[in-house]
Amino acid sequence: MSDQIRSLTLSHVVLPIANPVSDAKVLTGRQKPLTETVLLFVEVTTTQGLSGVGFSYSKRAGGKAQFAHLKEVAEAAIGQDPSDIAKIYESLMWAGASVGRSGVATQAVAALDVALWDLKAKRADLPLAKLLGSYRDSCRVYNTSGGFLQASLEEMKEKASASLETGIAGIKIKVGQPDWRLDLERVAAMREHLGDTPFMVDANQQWDRARARRMCRELEQHDLVWIEEPLDAWDAVGHADLSREFDTPIATGEMLTSVPEHMALVDAGYRGIVQPDAPRIGGITPFLRFATIAAHHGLALAPHYAMEIHLHLAAAYPTEPWVEHFEWLDPLFDESIEIRDGRIFVPQRPGLGFTLSDEMRAHTQDTVTFSA
């Protein structure tokens, strides 16, 4: 007899950020400083006694909506075979079809989808990367958390040096300020400070097409690994045009919440770096669907945030990817990830390789359980 999903526990978790940060969206007045990460955790157990854990997240808004949406549709998964992940995914999409197949709907379902992949790898007694078919046991890693715009130039330099001393390979900083001259000054100063260290910048969608072309042209001299989100995230044609016009690679995709939204980049002739985010695109199932297409088109990969999930997915991508390092979620898990010599290493424990910490429980504001 096949296994069945016996119970699902959903947890709404609010994790404060010790030092609030601001990117260009704050300086242009479009958002408030980031003070917390709101997470949706799913713990799944089966009739054969197996378990899995997954999560999704939101910043600034949407966390409560994710929790509420999954509460409405999660019961559709009860009694299903947990190995039939694609089938379960489709059933949850149909259960919430009236609100569409992107945005909050996919981000909510993502937490359960990730939990099912964690469970499946645990059933096989393999790290998730090995279950998927990994190409490598570690990936290049860069840090973003030290490069936000509320930090002074000296503070950014200090944080970058500290990150490199821990074994991080690359550094990314935020740009996109209303005064573009300040961006250029900070980038030039950081390039001088970093020497030959791999260096990326992120404009967080704050340039129009004309400004983006001018900034990309000015930034060519700094030998950047990439220029991230120079345009609105849904301007596929604009990003594709920039990716063909400049030598410095363009990177985008972190904000997109479905495979079709990512496919718009491919259809527009995009030649840059894709940055799908598993919790945002809808989970590991849709992430893998798009990753296959991206690899077919020869696109480089650098998944966004959530390194606890993306490290496994990056290890299973054909060409060498970058993984983004944020320490913000560390308190939620009992285990840490090994970083050394510029690389972040796939945990050798089964599944994602993480268990939820007491601190995660302490930050849980609401929870609900569904059971057969």
Of the residues 69, 174, 239, 325, only one is catalytic, namely: 174
223 is in an annotated binding site: no
228 is in an annotated binding site: yes
Measured CA to CA, the distance from residue 123 to residue 83 in angstroms comes to: 9
Is 304 noted as a catalytic residue in this protein?
yes
The gap between the terminal CA atoms of the chain, to the nearest Å, is: 16
143 is in an annotated binding site: no
130 is in an annotated binding site: no
220 is in an annotated binding site: no
Token couple for 135: 């190409």
Measured CA to CA, the distance from residue 372 to residue 369 in angstroms comes to: 10
122 is in an annotated binding site: no
24 is in an annotated binding site: yes
3-state SS, one letter per residue, for 117-133: HHHHHHHCCCEHHHHHC
Measured CA to CA, the distance from residue 124 to residue 274 in angstroms comes to: 30
Of the residues 159, 304, 310, 363, only one is catalytic, namely: 304
23 is in an annotated binding site: yes
Return all residues near 133 (Cβ < 8 A) that are at least 6 apart.
316
59 is in an annotated binding site: yes
172 is in an annotated binding site: yes
Tokens 């020869």, residue located: 298
Alpha carbon 184 to its chain centroid, in Å, reads 27
277 is in an annotated binding site: no
R_g of the chain computed on alpha carbons: 20
Measured CA to CA, the distance from residue 55 to residue 53 in angstroms comes to: 7
Measured CA to CA, the distance from residue 289 to residue 291 in angstroms comes to: 6
Q: Which residues are catalytic?
A: 174, 304
Binding residues for substrate: 23-25, 59-60, 172, 204, 324
Q: Which residues are annotated as a binding site?
A: 23-25, 59-60, 172, 202, 204, 228, 254, 324
